[in-house]
Structure 1
Amino acid sequence: MVTPNNPQRRWQAACPNCGGPVEFASPASASAVCSFCRSTLLREGEALRKIGQSAELFEDYSPLQLGAAGRYAGAAFTVVGRLQIGYPEGSWNEWHLLFDGGPDGPRSGWLSEDNGAFVLAFDAPLQERAPSADELKVGAQQVLAGRPWQVASKVQASLLAAEGELPRPPGLPARAFWVADLRNAQGEVATLDYGDPAAVAWSIGRSVPLAELALTGLRAESSKTLASKALPCPSCGAALEPRLENTRSIVCGQCHAVVDISQGAGADLAHYAQANGMEPQLRLGSEGQLALLAGGKPLPWQVVGYLERCDLPDSGEDEQSFWREYLLYNRLEGFAFLVDTAEGWSLVRPLTGAPRPGAGGSMQWQGKVFKQRWSYDAKATYVLGEFYWRIQREERVRVTDYEGPGVRAELLSREQTGNELTWSHGRQLDAAEVLKAFKLAPEMRAALKRDTAALSDSGTTLRNIVIGLFLIAFLFALLRSCDDDDCEAYKSSYGESSAEYQQCKRSSSGSGVRTGSGGSYGGFSSGGGSHK
């Protein structure tokens, strides 16, 4: 039936399984999930037919919900459905948006998660034959829809649950299918969805801050709802209270166990223990004002996570480096990483798009050429706080760092774990800027300033001579300590209480030190999740 006095001409019918009302906002929608009995229903003319049963949705604290409304590019939309998709490293949501009717009637869109941000995408026709999943190689170039793309991820996923109104039947729960994400230099992200082998779905979208969508009808966020998120630590029983809607991993403040909550609070929470690390120089929960780009407007960023990382030398003769990363959060901008290495500080954030390959192994992004500097394996050795991806013990990441032109250069970083690849972009910054941004005490200046930070400055001849003498002395100390203590070079150069020395002592690699590289430019954002 058509409900009266409704410009959207909503169509309503009784669920053939339980008799409950099922409503369709769009005449083009082909399927829905009954909110009463969870039956998956197929619309056939004026009747509904049950074709399956949807599992219960797990609680993931997303701010979105059915009935929320907003605007994009001047058009109003309503959130009418959701797919909850799982894959070995976690899960993600695909929210079905129904836009107000235009010349061609109502239009569907998809709002989904992407490395701590959101992407709004639309289904599009693909004129050529879609490549098979076997043909796609992560990191390779692929020409589709007349444009070059880089394959960013390829994961085997399955439908966990569904709710609301959907443009097509959601498929069978637990049946595995491939989902591939592709990105380009225009900042776009496209998806090949192999859920229906006979008709591979192709969609194209862009990153969009939730604040720009002028959303209303979101889940109420209050002290009551925040308190309801608390769950016991599976290791010690202390209360875990995730504060961010898209948290996938959280570290217990009492026993420091790393807990996976990517499957929801009701799941059997996987976790692992870790040895104590250093106290972060920037306190969790503290806030600082930093601009993403040089000369840009400073924005408030809150420290929500802390990581200690090291590279993994190929042999015992190679040097090793250690560095720290702070995960920052801004309600309007999403996430960024403040990276502290032996060569100085940098501020980077994950990209929605992907740089274009250039000559001689370089990469091009936004009209600038970035030259490759390092390529190495790395891992996280210690974490604190909350993270939007699932953190796994001893997970290795292949990192390639690139540096742009200029004294205070812009930076690119490429990180690949298994079948997922993430690009990050950012800039170098002075320790003084970090000190000012977080209003730290002046006595912390020495601890924040890296000894080799001046290598990035134009400098004077005298400064370069001093640096050269320092490096010679450092290499001499390193050679003298090879038979004694692999970390003695850190102790003599930075001090016994330094983060470098303490982190080296905790590392179990025993393969010597690598102080020259200074660590990663990018943020550790493995497993950010695929999307529609």
Structure 2
Amino acid sequence: MAEATPQRRWRAACPNCGAPVEFASAASASAVCGFCRSTLLRDGDTLSQIGQSAEIFEDYSPLQLGTTGRWMGRSFAIVGRVQRGSELGNWNEWHLLFDAGAETPRTAWLSEDNGQFVVSLEAPLTEAPPSAPALGQPLTLAGQRWQVAAIIEAALRAAEGELPRPPKAGRVVELRNAQGEVGSLEYREGAAPIWSVGRSVALADMALQGLRQTAEGESIAEAKFKGRSIACPSCGAPLEPKLAQTKSMVCAQCNAIVDLPEGEAKALGFTPQNRGLPPLIPLGRTGTLAVGDGKPEAWQVVGYQERCDIPEDAEDEQSFWREYLLYNRLAGFAFLVDTREGWSLVRTLTGAPTQGRGGVNWQGRDYAQRWVYGAKTTHVLGEFYWPVRLEDRVQVTDYITRDGQNLLSREQQGPEVTWSGGSPVPAEAVKKAFNLVAPAGQFARDTSAFKSGGNLLRNIIIGLFLIVLLFALLRACSSDDCQQYKTSFGENSNEYRQCRSSRSSGYYGSGSSGGSYGGYSSGGGGHK
């Protein structure tokens, strides 16, 4: 028989092992026994076992059961967690229980979203959602205009604590809008879809208490998983990932890209790669930078990848750039991007811009479309929170404001569309932030090249010059140096034929065909 505690907690014995199972909310319908991992269903004062949950795989999240905080003026406690996964990686969904108040409590979740965090509230859905939404397309739902950002089959990895319902696997459709919101449709067999709407949050602003602690004398950035060591399947060297979000990492011994498992297991596989040039910013280095209008924060370099665009034809110039994956325990992830035009610092967006004529609008700013291209990964080092692969290909569209101070990028890969935004960073600021000593030429960049107006005028001038040059070349190629023989003796005369033969043999000098003029091509350009 269950018993109520003075703190309005309900307690009952696990029907499988007899261990005590507590419920902090009368509205919670499910829990996972912390001793035997049984998935339990609550019906009044009765608990019944309906399944078995896998072990929670160890991670580096600063959150844990029992962590408390405040959001929108109300206190909450983390009482449960669901770990989900798909081809895009794994993530946590933390079940929040708010303090009692006049307002009817709603089911709330704190979820990890592309290296950031989102608080979502479940809400009733009075209309039938679309049965087959299309990735990247707009739709209207719950009175809002959305863009479909992802369509995934979310597997259930594990669960713990107190939950509003028994966790299940199923299809999840993720939506984003111009208000910076993320909507989620969770389809469940034999039941109506579960609808929730959320916004991004900064953990530092939530007055969190009871976070996970690292060992004494060990910095957060340097803390490692205790006992998590995996043998490299290529050379046998030990791999010790520092982040729980890590899905791929590069072996420091043989440079192979290794797919990491969840928890303690053998590595899933590897891809050999040649050793490239070392990154300008060493892995593990920490620097202080401000993202957008935010305050300066300490970011650690945990990953590095080189990428290039995919030319449409052999004559297009190919552009290469480098991306440093930065990590902050409470802020999540960011990208420091090094292109031939300059440095920029960007983060993934929770929402999605609205489409406009010739570009998009995001948070009151108009962005002009700049480049559309395919891109691929050519070299990687370090750790990544998504399964990175050599030759990974994405379709990219870059946007920029007229003054060049704000950048947007849309990337589509498989079942997901991701938007990221940021701004240029002076090279000297990068050097100072990460305490770098390098030749000036390695950091010198023409940051004015980010300005769309300057680029537009330059490209117009170059384009007009090339058009004139092209017409001149076509005219020269179409002219006949043997015209005088053709006029005097006729097209079939020996004189005319001999003249044409000498021209074709190169006796009078020949020019090269193909190639580009002055190094100009229609491809390439700035990225992110």
TM bin, normalised by shorter chain, reads: 0.7 to 0.9
Q: CA deviation at 1:453?
A: 4.4
Q: CA separation of 1:298/1:210 partners in 2, compared to 1, >3 Å: closer, same or farther? A: closer
Contact 1:321/1:515 (CA < 8 Å) preserved in 2? no
1:13-92 paired onto structure 2 within 5 Å: 13-92=12-91
SS in 2 for 1:102: coil
User: Which residue pairs with 1:378 in the alignment?
Assistant: 375
Contact 1:58/1:266 (CA < 8 Å) preserved in 2? no
Q: Deviations over 1:490-509 (max 9, x none)?
A: xx99xxxxxxxxxxxxxxxx
Contact 2:424/2:447 (CA < 8 Å) preserved in 1? no
Q: CA deviation at 1:459?
A: 12
User: Which residue pairs with 1:497 in the alignment?
Assistant: none
User: Which residue pairs with 2:366 in the alignment?
Assistant: 369
**Structure 2 CA distance, aligned partners of 1:20 and 1:5?**
17
| TM-score relative to the length of structure 2 | 0.82
Contact 2:230/2:265 (CA < 8 Å) preserved in 1? no
1:431-450 paired onto structure 2 within 5 Å: 431-441=427-437, 444-450=439-445
Contact 1:26/1:106 (CA < 8 Å) preserved in 2? no
Q: CA separation of 1:93/1:333 partners in 2, compared to 1, >3 Å: closer, same or farther? A: closer
User: Which residue pairs with 1:479 in the alignment?
Assistant: none
Is residue 413 from structure 1 mapped to residue 413 from structure 2 by the alignment?
no
CA RMSD, aligned part only? 3.2
User: Which residue pairs with 1:528 in the alignment?
Assistant: none
**Structure 1 CA distance, aligned partners of 2:402 and 2:278?**
34
Contact 1:152/1:183 (CA < 8 Å) preserved in 2? yes
Contact 1:77/1:100 (CA < 8 Å) preserved in 2? yes
Write the letter of the residue equivalent to 1:204: V
- Aligned-residue identity in percent: 56
Write the letter of the residue equivalent to 1:376: Y
Q: Alignment partner for residue 353 of structure 1, among 342, 351, 354?
A: 351
User: Which residue pairs with 1:192 in the alignment?
Assistant: 185
**Structure 1 CA distance, aligned partners of 2:416 and 2:108?**
24
User: Which residue pairs with 1:507 in the alignment?
Assistant: none
Is residue 140 from structure 1 mapped to residue 137 from structure 2 by the alignment?
yes
Write the letter of the residue equivalent to 1:210: L
SS in 2 for 1:436: helix
Q: CA separation of 1:268/1:225 partners in 2, compared to 1, >3 Å: closer, same or farther? A: closer
**Structure 2 CA distance, aligned partners of 1:178 and 1:262?**
23
Q: CA deviation at 1:279?
A: 0.9
SS in 2 for 1:93: strand
**Structure 2 CA distance, aligned partners of 1:225 and 1:288?**
20
Q: CA deviation at 1:514?
A: 6.2
Q: CA separation of 1:455/1:68 partners in 2, compared to 1, >3 Å: closer, same or farther? A: closer
Q: CA deviation at 1:290?
A: 2.5
**Structure 2 CA distance, aligned partners of 1:395 and 1:244?**
22
Contact 1:227/1:241 (CA < 8 Å) preserved in 2? no
**Structure 1 CA distance, aligned partners of 2:163 and 2:209?**
21
Structure with larger RCO (C-alpha < 8 A, sep 6+): 1
Count of residues paired in the alignment: 476
Q: CA deviation at 1:2?
A: 6.0
**Structure 2 CA distance, aligned partners of 1:212 and 1:342?**
36
Q: CA separation of 1:3/1:437 partners in 2, compared to 1, >3 Å: closer, same or farther? A: same
Contact 1:121/1:206 (CA < 8 Å) preserved in 2? yes
**Structure 2 CA distance, aligned partners of 1:211 and 1:342?**
34
Contact 1:182/1:191 (CA < 8 Å) preserved in 2? yes
User: Which residue pairs with 1:121 in the alignment?
Assistant: 120
**Structure 2 CA distance, aligned partners of 1:215 and 1:277?**
42
**Structure 1 CA distance, aligned partners of 2:43 and 2:522?**
67
Q: CA deviation at 1:265?
A: 3.6
**Structure 2 CA distance, aligned partners of 1:457 and 1:144?**
37
Is residue 181 from structure 1 mapped to residue 174 from structure 2 by the alignment?
yes
Write the letter of the residue equivalent to 2:368: K
Q: CA deviation at 1:268?
A: 4.0
Q: Alignment partner for residue 219 of structure 1, among 192, 206, 212?
A: 212
Write the letter of the residue equivalent to 1:399: V
**Structure 1 CA distance, aligned partners of 2:119 and 2:206?**
10
Q: CA separation of 1:321/1:514 partners in 2, compared to 1, >3 Å: closer, same or farther? A: farther
Q: CA separation of 1:39/1:429 partners in 2, compared to 1, >3 Å: closer, same or farther? A: closer
Larger radius of gyration: 2
Q: CA separation of 1:160/1:5 partners in 2, compared to 1, >3 Å: closer, same or farther? A: closer
Contact 1:435/1:445 (CA < 8 Å) preserved in 2? no
Contact 1:100/1:107 (CA < 8 Å) preserved in 2? no
Write the letter of the residue equivalent to 2:63: L
Is residue 392 from structure 1 mapped to residue 386 from structure 2 by the alignment?
no
Q: CA separation of 1:290/1:58 partners in 2, compared to 1, >3 Å: closer, same or farther? A: closer
Q: Which sections of structure 2, spanning at least 5 residues, go unmatched?
A: 470-511
**Structure 1 CA distance, aligned partners of 2:247 and 2:340?**
29
